[in-house]
């Protein structure tokens, strides 16, 4: 007799999907490098940690356009949901695609947030207004970075041309869970680690969250692990409602 994989109820999956839009987690393990000889490690460059942190806050702040792709593995009572978010963001507006996979099922949504409202359509279906609330003005894709308590931890362990900045207990994680069907969310631990250059420009980031929440009175364990990759934007972003007026 073959054991069945634990799969959370559909409403829980849809609720968790909303949470992972703002709270992603862990990167895939890097493949080992075989037969490669690296040159000697260059002496550390002198950088100002405060300027690096200020630069990162500006890059991810409400006035800066951001393009990234995020992949997350979200576990609810050991049931696995993989979510991929790929799009453009500025302040509390966005235009992107969300794909999620569960037990062989894959669904794709196109999401636009503009003028304080959110719109969604499945695949190439019709656009509809979304009940999800758009983040407050002054927020970026990761919440209000101006209030974030970030720690500069030195040269990156994976790329000596980059530096590491850690954000412990990101504020947007709690907000993301509060905006779903889950009740009484309790975050046990969460952190986000950025790989940035000397100006604070982000290249990649990892995210992890562990906690619990309730749905219809039943408790669920939550674990989110994911990876972000950031891309340069040279064009001005313009977000508009997809519904004809």
Supply the pLDDT for residue 38. 43
Whether residue 7 has pLDDT greater than 50: no
Q: Considering the chain, what percentage of its residues have pLDDT values greater than 90?
A: 40
**Buried b / exposed e across 80-111, counting CB within 10 Å, b at 16+?**
bbebbbebbbbbbbbbbebebebeeeeeebbb
For the chain, the average pLDDT equals 79
Residue 15 in this model has a pLDDT that exceeds 50: no
| Digit-coded pLDDT (tens) for 70-98 | 999 988 887 888 989 999 999 889 999 99
Residue 141 CA to residue 202 CA, distance in Å, equals 13
Prediction pTM value: 0.78
Task: Spell out the domains of the chain, with CATH numbers in brackets.
Answer: 10-27+46-229 (2.50.20)
Residue 147 has what pLDDT?
A: 81
Are 72 and 224 spatial neighbours (Cβ–Cβ below 8 Å)?
yes
pLDDT tens digits along 86-130: 999 998 899 999 998 888 888 999 999 998 899 999 987 999 998
* Closest alpha carbon to 142 in 56, 212, 31, 41: 56
Strand partners, 209: 190, 224
With CA atoms as reference, report the closest residue to 201 among 237, 225, 165: 165
Element (H, E) at 172: helix 171-178
152-166, pLDDT tens digit by residue? 999 999 888 899 999
Question: How far, CA to CA in Å, does 112 sit from each of 129, 158, 235, 243?
Answer: 10, 34, 18, 11
Q: What pLDDT score does 240 carry?
A: 93
Find the helix packing angle between 10-20 and 171-178, rounded to 10°. 150
């Amino acid at each position: 007799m073959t054991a069945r994989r634990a799969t959370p109820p559909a409403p829980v999956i849809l609720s968790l999907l909303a949470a992972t839009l703002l709270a992603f987690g862990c990167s895939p393990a890097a493949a080992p490098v075989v037969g490669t000889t690296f040159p000697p490690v260059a002496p550390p460059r002198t950088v100002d940690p405060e300027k690096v942190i200020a630069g990162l806050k500006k890059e991810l702040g409400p006035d800066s356009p951001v393009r990234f792709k995020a992949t997350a593995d979200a576990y609810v009572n050991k049931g696995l949901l993989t979510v991929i978010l790929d799009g453009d963001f500025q302040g509390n507006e966005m235009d992107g695609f969300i794909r999620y996979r569960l037990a062989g099922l894959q669904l794709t949504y196109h999401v636009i947030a503009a003028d304080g409202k959110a719109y969604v359509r499945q695949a190439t279906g019709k656009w509809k207004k979304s009940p999800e609330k758009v983040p407050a003005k002054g927020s970026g894709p990761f919440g209000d970075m101006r209030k974030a308590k970030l720690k500069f931890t030195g040269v990156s362990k994976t790329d000596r041309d980059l530096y590491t900045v850690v954000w412990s207990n990101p504020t947007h994680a709690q907000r993301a869970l509060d905006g779903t069907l889950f009740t009484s969310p309790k975050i046990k631990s969460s952190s986000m680690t950025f790989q940035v250059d000397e100006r604070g420009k982000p290249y990649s980031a990892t995210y992890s969250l562990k906690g619990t929440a309730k749905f219809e009175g039943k408790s669920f364990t939550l674990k989110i692990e994911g990876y972000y990759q950031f891309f340069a934007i040279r064009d001005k972003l313009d977000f508009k409602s997809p519904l004809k007026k």
